[in-house]
């Protein structure tokens, strides 16, 4: 697929883009490196002022940016506008807190003075996915720029106008030229970029193959990399839970972003004899969802971002059925233009079948029945991923076991998994490594320099 805006609701190609030539790419790299040498000298106060301005631009143009996201990747407009607001939040969060996060850290030793100083690394390459086309970029860029790094963005090929809009926002906010640039390049040109000495580190949010490819290139060059990859998060419901609240949240947690979220609840694990009632509630809620034009305010589910994802859903559901799953609701694509797939609930999936361990990146949920806490934890952990987990119980001893024993980057009790600028975000196992957001996120791309003075 080339670099293009293709409306996923209609299949219409609206705009195509030529990838950067090698010469143009070199010019951008040179500009980024020159920008870094000056930008690293700017104060936190200056960077904070620019980032606050970026937040203002985001808020004042949130409908315009929201429409751009919806046009390019199909998320419902109200969710797209909320995403722009969240980007303003992360900008303000780091604009207000970065100086404290990166202040010299005094450590008493037998030196007359010893402390840690945090310094920027240089150019950081960010490889980003289309599913949250603004949020994924801003949650990288806000801390990275506040730390004094400069950013180069290789965004997904289906959201080029979002990528260019983000570059424009940083420029309009007052960041010096070259501090944040978009590279319209193909995925195949990412790994070779890691050989360039001027690029000091990289971050990638996306699939396992893409993450592994970048990590190999970074490893070969001894460069830092942060990976935010896939997941198949469990959503575990115990008998003590408020079933209606759990089911309503389950719907949101699975269907957010037309089902295309890394931290979506993808496997519902229901404990004990509440399973039938919970399943019934999910079925009713799935059936009530309104599919359609994502630009309309009453649409709950829009199209999948690309025809390839639609094909993945068809193929995965067919494989699930072949491996023993029962389709309780949905299960098929919607005929006609656009990449629409019905909200789908699968049950009776044998837990030892490969499909039980796969990620469905669309509006398809799997529901499993288990008899007790031990079985729930074992099933929750029985996947290669470890991104997030949501568990619903009011029993403190069950809560503690879940916090301790679930293998994931986060455990949310009586809440859906969500990202929040104040809290670290990331995964374990094949969901990746490193953290974004909070103080942990800004520390990923700094040199933690030890100073000793006798
Ligand atoms: P993807 O194909 O990996 O694309 C993500 C980005 O990587 C795009 O910019 C893509 O560029 C680029 N890319 C693809 N192959 C590459 C390669 N070999 N080397 C370097 N860059 C490469 O991911 P996707 O399928 O669009 O996104 C879905 C996956 O991302 C899911 O598994 C989801 O769970 C995960 N995800 C994780 C998080 C998280 O925070 N953990 C957040 C969102 C999504 P092109 O578009 O040009 O191919």
Q: Give the start-to-end residue ranges of the domains of the chain.
A: 4-229+431-453, 233-420
Closest CA to 265 of 297, 234, 294, 226: 234
Neighbours of 171 (CB within 10 A): 16
Residue whose CA is at the smallest distance from ligand 1 atom 14: 210
228 lines ligand 1 (CB under 6 A): yes
Ligand 1 atom having least distance to the Cα of 129: 5
- Between CA 49 and CA 337 the distance in angstroms is 45
Assess whether pLDDT exceeds 90 at residue 421.
Answer: yes
pTM above 0.85, yes or no: yes
Assess whether pLDDT exceeds 80 at residue 83.
Answer: yes
Distance 214 CA to ligand 1 centre (A): 11
Give the residue numbers annotated as catalytic, written as ranges. 228, 262
What superfamily would CATH give domain 233-420?
Answer: Aldehyde Dehydrogenase; Chain A, domain 2 (3.40.309.10)
Query: How sure is the predictor about 256, in pLDDT bands with cuts at 50, 70 and 90?
Result: very high
Assess whether pLDDT exceeds 70 at residue 366.
Answer: yes
Residue whose CA is at the smallest distance from ligand 1 atom 42: 262
Compute the average pLDDT of residues 233-257: 98
Q: Does domain 4-229+431-453 have CATH number 3.40.50.2300?
A: no
- Contact residues for 291 (Cβ-Cβ < 8 A; gap 6+): 299, 300, 301, 302, 334, 340, 342, 343
Query: How sure is the predictor about 1, in pLDDT bands with cuts at 50, 70 and 90?
Result: low
Closest CA to 347 of 239, 269, 406: 269
Compute the average pLDDT of residues 123-136: 98
Residue with tokens 């000056």: 38
pLDDT in tens, 310-336: 999 999 999 999 999 999 999 999 999
The percentage of the chain sitting over the pLDDT mark of 90, rounded to a whole number, equals 100
| H-state helical runs in 289-426 | 307-322, 373-381, 396-405
Residue whose CA is at the smallest distance from ligand 1 atom 48: 187
- Between CA 277 and CA 84 the distance in angstroms is 37
Query: Which residues are bridge partners to 6 per DSSP?
Result: 13
Residue 253 pLDDT: 98
183 lines ligand 1 (CB under 6 A): no
Strand locations in 11-122 (E): 13-17, 105-106, 113-120
pLDDT in tens, 137-171: 999 999 999 999 999 999 999 999 999 999 999 99
Strand 364-370 and strand 265-271: the pairing is parallel
Same fold, 4-229+431-453 and 233-420: no
Distance 204 CA to ligand 1 centre (A): 7
131 lines ligand 1 (CB under 6 A): yes
Distance 271 CA to ligand 1 centre (A): 34
127 lines ligand 1 (CB under 6 A): yes
Could you tell me if 322 and 348 are in contact, meaning their C-beta atoms sit under 8 angstroms apart? no
- Contact residues for 173 (Cβ-Cβ < 8 A; gap 6+): 50, 51, 53, 54, 57
Residue whose CA is at the smallest distance from ligand 1 atom 15: 210
pLDDT in tens, 17-44: 999 999 999 999 999 999 999 999 999 9
Q: Which residue out of 3, 129, 216, 227 has the highest number of ligand 1 atoms within 8 Å of its CB and is therefore the one to mutate?
A: 129
Residue whose CA is at the smallest distance from ligand 1 atom 43: 262
């Amino acid at each position: 697929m080339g670099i293009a805006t293709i409306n996923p609701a209609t299949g219409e190609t609206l705009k195509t883009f030529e990838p950067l030539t090698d010469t143009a790419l070199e010019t951008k790299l040179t500009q980024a490196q020159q920008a870094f040498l000056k930008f690293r000298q700017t104060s936190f106060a200056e960077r904070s002022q620019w980032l606050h301005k970026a937040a203002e631009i985001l808020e004042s143009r949130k409908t315009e940016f929201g429409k751009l996201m919806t046009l390019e990747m199909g998320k419902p407009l109200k969710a797209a506008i909320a995403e722009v607001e969240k980007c303003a939040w992360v900008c303000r969060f780091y604009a207000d807190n970065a100086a404290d996060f990166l202040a010299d850290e005094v450590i008493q030793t037998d030196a007359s003075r010893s402390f840690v100083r945090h310094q920027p690394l240089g150019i950081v390459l960010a490889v980003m996915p289309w599913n949250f086309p603004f949020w994924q970029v801003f949650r990288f860029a806000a801390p990275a720029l506040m730390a004094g790094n400069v950013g180069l963005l290789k965004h997904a090929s289906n959201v080029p106008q979002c990528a260019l809009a983000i570059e424009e926002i940083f420029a309009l906010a007052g960041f010096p030229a070259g501090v944040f640039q978009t590279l319209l390049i193909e995925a195949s040109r990412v790994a070779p970029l890691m050989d360039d000495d001027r690029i000091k580190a990289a971050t990638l949010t996306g699939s396992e193959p893409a993450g592994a490819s970048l990590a190999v290139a970074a490893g070969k060059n001894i460069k830092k990399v942060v990976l935010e990859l896939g997941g198949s998060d469990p959503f575990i419901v115990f008998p003590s839970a408020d079933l209606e609240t759990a089911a309503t949240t389950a719907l949101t947690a699975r269907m957010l972003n037309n089902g295309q979220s890394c931290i979506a609840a993808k496997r519902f694990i229901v404990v004990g004899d509440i399973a039938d009632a919970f399943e019934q509630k999910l079925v009713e809620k799935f059936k009530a969802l309104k599919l359609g034009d994502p630009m309309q305010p009453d649409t709950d589910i829009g199209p999948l971002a690309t025809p390839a994802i639609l094909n993945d859903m068809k193929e995965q559901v067919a494989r699930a059925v072949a491996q023993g799953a029962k389709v309780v609701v949905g299960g098929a694509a919607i005929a006609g233009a656009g990449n629409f797939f019905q909200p789908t609930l699968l049950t009776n999936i044998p837990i030892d079948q490969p499909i039980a361990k796969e990620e469905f990146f669309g509006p398809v949920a799997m529901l499993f029945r288990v008899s007790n806490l031990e079985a729930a934890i074992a099933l929750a952990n029985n996947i290669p991923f470890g991104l997030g987990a949501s568990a619903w119980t009011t029993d403190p001893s069950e809560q503690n076991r879940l916090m301790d024993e679930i293998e994931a980057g986060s455990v949310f009790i009586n809440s859906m998994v969500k990202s929040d600028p104040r809290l670290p975000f990331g995964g374990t196992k094949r969901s990746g490594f490193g953290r974004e957001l909070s103080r942990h996120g800004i520390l990923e791309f700094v040199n933690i320099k030890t100073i000793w003075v006798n």
